[in-house]
Homo-oligomer: A and B are copies of this chain.
């Protein structure tokens, strides 16, 4: 039994602080290109002080997916912790303005709302320095029958395992899902995150997850494989549905005997890769909860990802579904 919500995201609620940087900047702060590094509040102030003029917009990987899903017309809900500060207000507004049912009120105490310094280099690739702030105080107590409800799919992200009660709250969410008949999807977040929590992810994927959404590096980190062929072979040992993105090589969907190979859509130039995977997941899960074929799920995911890399920031402009339907 499920309620009218199709997708509930549980994740780190983050406001992105986006700025263009040159390659020297990354070297100066010692950040590997394309990485996501967790930083404390003092370091966040330091990085921000070094950055040029920035643009602020709501972000967070699963939150981006939830926003994109709502944007496509899907009924969505969200659980994540923000403070009752201005960035928290921005985060909540951007969700609610898309019709997302925001399940937690902003906290009146604790750390400030999280921010992710997104450093966009001249090739459009983004390097992230994230201060988790209020996110780290999301707890098991926030995951209840009432806040979770009975969505068709609950989407978790690997980054949740970086917070103190993350493993426990993920377990609580999966338990509620099993009791209520909700499916569980897990975004692996990034390959470094997988390295940090590989055993926990392996156990969770084997034990409670129905759908894994991830890029190929993340899947390889989970499966400890070293080539596309090895990864494809290893996937045969899993019952889960894997939707695996491969950047310019497109994506592959594997579910038992079914395999879908979806090419990427060529684009003239990539503006900013922020949110490419999140957008793919939004499209994929929208199709999946709507009963579409795996092929069409992959096509819709690709359409969303192609759109988001041609703009600044990780959230797709409203009106996407109309545009998608116009291409059919």
Contact = CB atoms under 8 A, between A and B. Distances in A.
Contacts of A52: 97-98, 318
A98 B52 CA distance: 7
A209 interface: no
Given A86-B87, A87-B86, A318-B20, A97 B57 contact: no
A312 to B, nearest CB: 8
A48, A49, A86, A93 interface centre (most CB from chain B within 10 Å): A86
A97 to B, nearest CB: 5
Contact of A54 (B87, B93, B112): B93
Interface string A72-97: 00000000000001110010011001
A315 B86 contact: no
A143 to B, nearest CB: 26
A51 B90 CA distance: 12
Contacts of A53: 57-58, 67, 93-94, 97-98, 315, 318
A61 to B, nearest CB: 16
Interface string A56-76: 111000000001000000000
Nearest to A70: B53
Contact of A57 (B55, B58, B93): B55
A158 to B, nearest CB: 25
Contact of A55 (B20, B48, B56, B318): B56
Interface in A17-70: 20, 48-49, 51-58, 67
Interface of A: 20, 48-49, 51-58, 67, 85-87, 90, 93-94, 97-98, 112, 312-313, 315, 317-318
Given A49-B97, A56-B57, A85-B85, 16 more contacts: A20-B317, A49-B93, A51-B93, A52-B98, A52-B318, A53-B57, A53-B67, A53-B94, A54-B94, A54-B97, A55-B56, A55-B57, A55-B313, A56-B56, A85-B86, A312-B312
19 contacts: A20-B317, A20-B318, A49-B97, A51-B93, A52-B98, A53-B58, A53-B67, A53-B93, A53-B94, A53-B97, A54-B57, A54-B90, A54-B93, A54-B94, A55-B56, A55-B313, A56-B56, A86-B86, A86-B112
Closest 4 CB pairs of A and B: A86-B86, A56-B56, A53-B94, A55-B57
